[in-house]
Amino acid sequence: MITVDGGRISFIEKHLFEPKIEIFEGIIERYKNYQVELFLHVVSDPSCRYEKGPGSARIPEELAQLSAKERFLSLLKNRQLNANPKGFYANKVKDKFNSPQEIKSVSFAHCKQEEMHLHFEARNSEYGFVFYHDFLQSLGMIPVRYVNEENEESIRRLVFNEPFALEAYGKSYDMRWEKEWRVNKDVSFDPNDVAFIIVPDSEYSEFACLLVHEDLEYLVLPSSVFTDPLRFFLVAHGMEHHSWHQIRIFGDWKVDFEMFPDLNEEETSIFLERCGLHIKCLAKAEIQDIYEHRYIARFMNFASRLDPAFLNKTSFKELALVHANSGEPYQTHRDLMMHCYTTRFEVQSARIDLS
């Protein structure tokens, strides 16, 4: 999806030029080692540890008493993340209510899919934004540096240029696991700058309806796509951009989702033994499809304007392959759902009423 090399963030395009997947086994081969990496901004709840002690001083009074959900709803409409003072120097100012603008920033975590739950737990919230990496890079986002790992000359240079990005760690405070990056100003954004938003599973339908009612052009994913592949598999059919009423199993038999009873403990164990890897791939394909769909469309729009004679002399001549692979995550999601529901039917057949 993305990679970071020497502080430069790049989109990984290799899979777009690979041979198109032709057989089901090819799905697993491509996705089992596929690495989801994103830049995440989780909206904190006031009950989280970041807003206790010294951290409480950097939360504006009008936000301090709002829940994570209330803050999130406000951000969706106002479209601006406000910078606040943080970092090595934040607790060393003479007046905690008058911190220098130079150390105010907005934070983003560079994290893998399997690390997302740690950020949700730390912020006591499952409301978040995943922005496109090129948008954040255009704002001057840089990684946090630690005074523990810099020499005196390096620290002096950083203080003159990027004091907002300096942090420290110790025995009682070590946040290196966050892999934090910062932007040294308020972040104003449009929905097109946001790959997708994340909400708790229990509120997915509420937010899907809200976005339509308020004409807010965000794509929304339930948090389980990052935290619990089985739970995501069980809700995937009802998502707004899928909205399936039936599923095809055993190749050509269409059945209703409602016919499947809840998995009991024994059935869950058998199902996960047979489809555990498949539902992990399903979650990866869902994230990839949402993140890449608009991003690749920009590339295709650009490439379509180039002279055909030039295209045929370069790697751009493989645009047809790029086009085919850009739709692969959606096709993968469909094929994996059919495979997994066929297996679920086999596992639950004794308890399914076919009358």
Query: Got the DSSP string for 284-340?
Result: HHHHHHHHHHHHHHHHHHHHTTS-HHHHTTSGGGGHHHHHHHHTHHHHHHHHHHHHH
Average pLDDT of the chain is 91
Rg (CA), the chain: 23
Query: Which pLDDT value is given to residue 114?
Result: 95
Question: Please, are residues 126 and 198 in contact by the beta-carbon 8 Å criterion?
Answer: yes
The 10s digit of each residue's pLDDT in 330-345 is: 999 999 999 999 999 9
Query: Per residue in 277-300, pLDDT tens?
Result: 999 999 999 999 999 988 898 888
Instruction: Quick: pLDDT tens for 72-126.
Output: 999 999 999 999 888 888 877 777 667 788 899 999 999 999 999 999 999 999 9
Q: Quickly state the pLDDT bin for 303 (edges 50, 70, 90).
A: confident
**pTM metric for this prediction:** 0.92
Per-residue burial over 142-164, b if 16 or more Cβ lie within 10 Å, else e, is bebbebeeeeeeeeeebeeebbb
- DSSP symbol at 267: H
The helix (H) or strand (E) run that includes residue 73 is helix 68-78
- Does the pLDDT at position 53 exceed 70? no
Dig out the tokens for 39 from the structure.
């830049």
